């Protein structure tokens, strides 16, 4: 098994660049136990899973090198914006593309689509916990499209480029959400804002249809897969990006975390030499929906800056 694995596995990290903070110190007896580094995957997607054996599209987990490249492109895009006031948009238009089978599987009722938009607005306004930041982002459903296609529904990942190219609406500031049946354990995935210019018709968020509110996905049917993936769409990495090694997820106020959380292990401290317990209740983790409560102020600033750099 390679190092940058999925939920419940330890992340082995490559050496840090010169001048960076020293990568995590090995605990006694841990020497030689680190997993080998994963071969580079294709960037452009970040996934959320409920099963460590899930088939994750396009790499899913970013390598440290890929995350560093995304951050470099982000910082370069901010240079011409220095001195300008950056704000979240008043409303982000959302187009939800419901893809279903001929027998009715996946035909998400409009009420559940509306509930998903409400979940996004509550989450991004800090409404799920006293420690939640109001990011300033609000979302407004502008259209729901419905496509009945057995092949697209059951084999979305295989045909995703064609599906997204045919169904995509709007520009960089329009959130396109696609719902279908995904692989076992795979909850959803998203593009990053840095990739919009190169592939605008592939931009958006993909969700397993049963992760929308009331969908019946055990542990994951409150709509926070949508919250998580929209966080990626706005530029955030997983809280466990880079494990215990600097710079973590590139956000100062999210504690370091060696590996993704599963369930709701509140109080876990997988990077004891770093400040703070693991951010298991953060929306950018892999915790169960009922465990997730907030984005941080640092994450809120980062998504506003990404919006200004790539989507405004």
Residue 221 Cα to chain centre, angstroms: 16
DSSP 199-228: -GGG-SEEEEGGGSTTS--TT--SSHHHHH
Q: Are the C-beta atoms of 126 and 133 separated by less than 8 Å? A: yes
**Residues near 86 by beta carbon (within 8 Å), at least 6 away in sequence:** 304, 305, 307, 308
Taking each continuous run of H as one helix and of E as one strand, the counts in the chain are 6, 6
Could you say which DSSP state residue 263 is in?
S
Residues serving a catalytic function are 229
First to last CA, the chain: 40
The number of CA neighbours under 13 Å toward the Cβ of 73 is: 14
User: How far does CA 157 lie from the centroid of its chain?
Assistant: 17
Closest CA to 238 of 246, 248, 247: 248
């Amino acid at each position: 098994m390679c190092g940058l694995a999925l939920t419940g596995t330890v992340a082995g990290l490559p050496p840090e660049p010169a001048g960076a903070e020293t990568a995590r110190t090995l605990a006694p007896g841990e020497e030689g136990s680190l997993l080998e580094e994963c071969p580079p995957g294709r960037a452009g997607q970040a996934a959320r899973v409920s099963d460590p054996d899930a088939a994750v599209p396009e790499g899913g987990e970013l390598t440290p090198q890929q995350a560093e490249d995304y951050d470099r492109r982000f910082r370069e895009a901010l240079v011409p914006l220095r001195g300008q006031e950056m704000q979240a948009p008043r409303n982000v238009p959302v187009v939800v593309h419901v893809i279903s089978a001929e027998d009715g599987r996946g035909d998400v009722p409009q009420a559940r689509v509306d509930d998903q938009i409400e979940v996004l607005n509550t989450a991004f306004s800090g409404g799920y916990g006293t420690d939640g930041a109001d990011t300033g982002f609000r979302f407004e459903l502008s259209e729901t499209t419905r496509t009945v296609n057995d092949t697209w529904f059951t084999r979305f990942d295989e045909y995703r480029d064609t599906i997204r190219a045919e169904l995509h609406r709007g520009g960089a500031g329009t959130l396109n959400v696609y719902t279908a049946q995904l692989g076992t354990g795979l909850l959803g995935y998203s593009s990053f804002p840095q990739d919009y210019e190169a592939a605008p018709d592939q931009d958006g968020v993909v969700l397993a249809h049963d992760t929308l509110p009331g969908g019946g996905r055990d542990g994951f049917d409150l709509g926070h897969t949508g919250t998580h993936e929209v966080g990626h769409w706005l530029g955030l990495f997983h809280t466990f990006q880079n494990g215990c090694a600097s710079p973590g997820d590139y956000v100062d106020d999210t504690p370091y975390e060696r590996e993704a959380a599963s369930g709701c292990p509140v109080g876990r401290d997988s990077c004891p030499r770093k400040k703070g317990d693991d951010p298991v209740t953060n929306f950018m983790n892999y915790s169960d929906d009922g465990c997730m409560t907030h984005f941080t102020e640092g994450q809120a600033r980062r998504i506003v800056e990404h919006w200004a750099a790539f989507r405004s």
